[in-house]
Amino acid sequence: MITQLPTSSFSFELVATLGHARAGILHTPHGDIPTPVFMPVGTAGTVKAMTADELRAPPLDARIILGNTYHLYLRPGLDVIAATGGLHGFAAWDRALLTDSGGYQVFSLAAFGEIDDDGVTFRSHLDGSKHRLTPEISIEIQRVLASDIAMCFDQCPPGDADAQTHELAVRRTTAWAKRCLAAPRAPGQALFGIVQGGTDTARRLAHLAELAPLGFDGHALGGLAVGESLADTYRILDEVAHQLPADKPRYLMGVGTPADLEHAIAAGIDMFDCVMPTRNARNGYLFTSQGRVNIPNAANRMDTGPIDPECPCTTCRTHSRAYLRHLYMAKEILYARLATLHNLTFYARHVRRIRDRILREGRPA
């Protein structure tokens, strides 16, 4: 069964600007999303340790989360997801979904045996079984997942790749983008193109010039935070982000720290995803208005205060640092839930504060 998305269409409304920074609204079949927005990562159909109700509840109030083509294709498989009404039905998530194409995971996780101009033959990181992923197959998987936003299948080279590798990746990504556009999608499903090119500004802008006329619903910067220096990441953002089409949403894939998000918003980015708040939470690192807290530190053993006195999340309103440290040291499952809820709330509020400033100090669009 292929799920049909609600009939309302996808569009982007620009509300205000402050320099290159933008405040807008993404209109999707599953609800409106104020931008800039941080999107929690739910790679395998779940944001780790969180229920859908917790993600929806204020002050976190997540309007959109991510799923991943590669992981969901391998496990549980498309037959299971299709039988339950697409990823929305499978995960009991009634708000917007974006699905990554699987391209990054193929190149970073899978031991692939062959990449060619048609696609990639790879072996599963789960059991070593052999699979083929092409632009058409990626879009077909995302059609079954029935996400609100699908991503083009692209080639993402590592940060230290040579110029020849980047040129080949750009050429393939453009060709694959055209094939993704031609492939059938779920009704109402938007499609974003991905700009590659490494840390060479001229190459990035040349690739953007190839993709922009193709008519995507939005554009992403891929291939950053893959091993290049932070200075190079920021330079590419400063030189390229504001040149992405102004009437479409701009998405920075896989980045990053709260400071990274702030820099990228100032450069003109609207959408973000990153595993950092969830992964760091599980590993004992918590984001606060006073800086990062390492919860295992002995200083927290007798600390009866909250993680962050400025945070309204349930964790901070209810539990002390001492209790969270105890849960972490005892390897209690509850720790991951409480810490993840806090970090995701911190990220959501951080981006919303920046949006409020753009609305307050900026110009109406």
- The SS3 assignment for 34 reads strand
Residue of 260, 270, 273, 308 marked active site: 273
Per-chain mean pLDDT for the chain? 95
Q: What is the pLDDT of residues 128-182, one digit of tens each?
A: 999 999 999 999 999 999 999 999 999 998 888 999 999 999 999 999 999 999 9
Counting residues of the chain whose pLDDT is more than 90, the rounded percentage is: 91
List domains and CATH numbers for the chain.
37-274 (3.20.20.105), 284-365 (no CATH)
pTM: 0.96
61 catalytic? Reply is no
Q: What's the average model confidence in pLDDT over 190-194?
A: 98
Dihedral sign for Cα 161, 164, 170, 173, please: negative
What span, in angstroms and rounded, lies between the C-alpha atoms of 43 and 275?
9
CB atoms within 10 A of CB 25: 16
Distant-in-sequence, close-in-space partners of 170: CB < 8 Å, separation ≥ 6: 196, 197, 203, 206, 207
What span, in angstroms and rounded, lies between the C-alpha atoms of 24 and 228?
30
What span, in angstroms and rounded, lies between the C-alpha atoms of 302 and 248?
50
Q: What's the average model confidence in pLDDT over 319-323?
A: 98
Alpha carbon distances (Å) from 240 to 177, 200, 213, 355: 19, 10, 16, 21
Residue of 53, 100, 127, 200 marked active site: 100
Q: What is the pLDDT of residues 75-132, one digit of tens each?
A: 999 999 999 999 999 999 999 999 999 988 877 776 666 889 999 998 888 999 999 9
200 catalytic? Reply is no
Contact yes or no for 23/104 (Cβ under 8 A) = no
What span, in angstroms and rounded, lies between the C-alpha atoms of 300 and 88?
40
Chain centroid to Cα 273, Å, comes to 3
Dihedral sign for Cα 293, 296, 298, 301, please: positive
Distant-in-sequence, close-in-space partners of 51: CB < 8 Å, separation ≥ 6: none
Strand partners, 81: none
Contact yes or no for 280/286 (Cβ under 8 A) = yes
| Closest-CA residue to 147 (of 38, 72, 51, 246) | 72
Task: Return the pLDDT at 265.
Answer: 98
Q: What is the pLDDT of residues 243-289, one digit of tens each?
A: 999 999 999 999 999 999 999 999 999 999 999 999 999 999 999 99
